[in-house]
């Protein structure tokens, strides 16, 4: 059996209880290189076979899965954050299904959640944005034409850009092209929830300078939108004059 597990954004205590239990029980652990905090590997049994997938191809990983099954091993495939976001898991799951090898998925805390926590931010603020766009700057993996970053930016929604910290020039250009004012708040969050976490705040117009200030283009998210600003409306859910299924109106 293969268990895909989301490792969370970095801090070892941000993996789910289920994910940790699976690491403790597994006989073979294949983890996604530098993105996974090595402290999570300490949860594994002493005789667990541990593989770093960074130098491996999909075919290599499939071979480890198949060999593990032959040996009756319980395998954990540990992906950073949540496996469903830029995890390259679909091709692995399809490969397993084609070989009739059973698998399941344990979700994880994605980096965009870790980054919001680091910033103490909320993506979905009333009167600001009720939509979060998760995307990336078109790079070596091109985004489909309908998902050009400028077109996405035109919505004015909150944005979290993965895999793009080395492309802040393009990010800036596309976000401005999409109509975001250059003074729109932005943040770079490096290694959210890791001990070495760093945050650089600024504006969309200043993204390249922010990257210089950050001093790295690895393991960072670009966040942009008015949700990082100071103005928003208060929620209806907790508004005394608003009534819903679990609470009547209140007079104050």
Q: What does the binding site for ligand SAH look like in residue numbers (CB under 6 A)? A: 9-10, 35, 79-82, 85-87, 110-111, 114-115, 162-163, 189, 191-194, 219-221
User: Least Å distance between CB 86 and ligand SAH?
Assistant: 4
Judged by beta carbon, residue 191 or residue 226, the one nearer ligand SAH is: 191
Minimum CB separation from ligand SAH for residue 236, in Å? 30
**From CA 29, how far away is CA 175, in angstroms rounded?**
40
CB of 16 or CB of 239, closer to ligand SAH: 16
| Of 134, 108, 106, 90, the residue nearest 9 (C-alpha) | 108
What b/e string do you get for 82-97 counting C-beta neighbours within 10 Å, with b at 16 or more?
bbebbbebeebbebbe
Residue nearest to ligand SAH (CB): 81
Residue 168: CB minimum distance to ligand SAH, A: 12
| Long-range contacts, stretch 211-216, CB < 8 angstroms, 24+ apart | 211/165, 211/166, 211/168, 214/165, 214/188, 214/190, 216/165, 216/190
Nearer Cβ to ligand SAH, position 30 or 73?
30
Quick one: 134 or 176, whose CB is closer to ligand SAH?
Answer: 134
Task: Work out how close the CB of 136 gets to ligand SAH at its nearest, in angstroms, rounded to a whole number.
Answer: 8
Which two structure tokens, joined as six digits, stand for 248?
């009547």
Least Å from the CB of residue 217 to ligand SAH? 9
Cβ pair 250, 239 in contact under 8 A: no
Q: Which is nearer to ligand SAH, 79 or 211 (CB)?
A: 79
């Amino acid at each position: 059996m293969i268990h895909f597990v989301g490792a969370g954004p970095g801090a070892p205590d941000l993996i789910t209880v289920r994910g940790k239990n699976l690491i403790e029980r597994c006989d073979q652990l294949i983890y996604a290189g530098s993105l996974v905090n090595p402290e999570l590997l300490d949860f594994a049994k002493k005789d667990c076979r541990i593989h770093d997938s960074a130098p491996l191809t999909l075919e290599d990983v499939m071979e480890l899965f198949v060999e593990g099954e032959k040996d009756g091993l319980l395998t954990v495939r540990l992906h950073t954050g949540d496996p469903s976001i830029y995890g390259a898991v679909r091709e692995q799951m399809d490969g397993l299904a084609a070989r009739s090898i059973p698998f399941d998925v344990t979700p994880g805390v994605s980096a965009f959640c870790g980054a919001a926590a680091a910033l103490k931010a909320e993506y979905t603020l009333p009167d600001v944005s009720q939509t979060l766009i998760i995307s990336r700057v078109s790079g070596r993996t091109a985004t489909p034409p309908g998902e050009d970053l400028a077109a996405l930016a035109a919505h004015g929604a909150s944005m979290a850009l993965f895999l793009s910290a080395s492309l802040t020039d393009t990010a800036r250009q596309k976000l401005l092209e999409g109509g975001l004012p250059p003074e729109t708040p932005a943040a770079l969050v490096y290694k959210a929830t890791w001990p070495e976490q760093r945050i650089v705040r600024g504006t969309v117009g200043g993204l390249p300078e922010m990257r210089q200030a950050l001093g790295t283009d690895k393991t960072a998210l670009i966040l942009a939108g008015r949700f990082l600003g100071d103005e928003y409306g208060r929620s209806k859910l907790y508004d005394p004059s608003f009534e819903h299924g679990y609470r009547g109106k209140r007079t104050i």
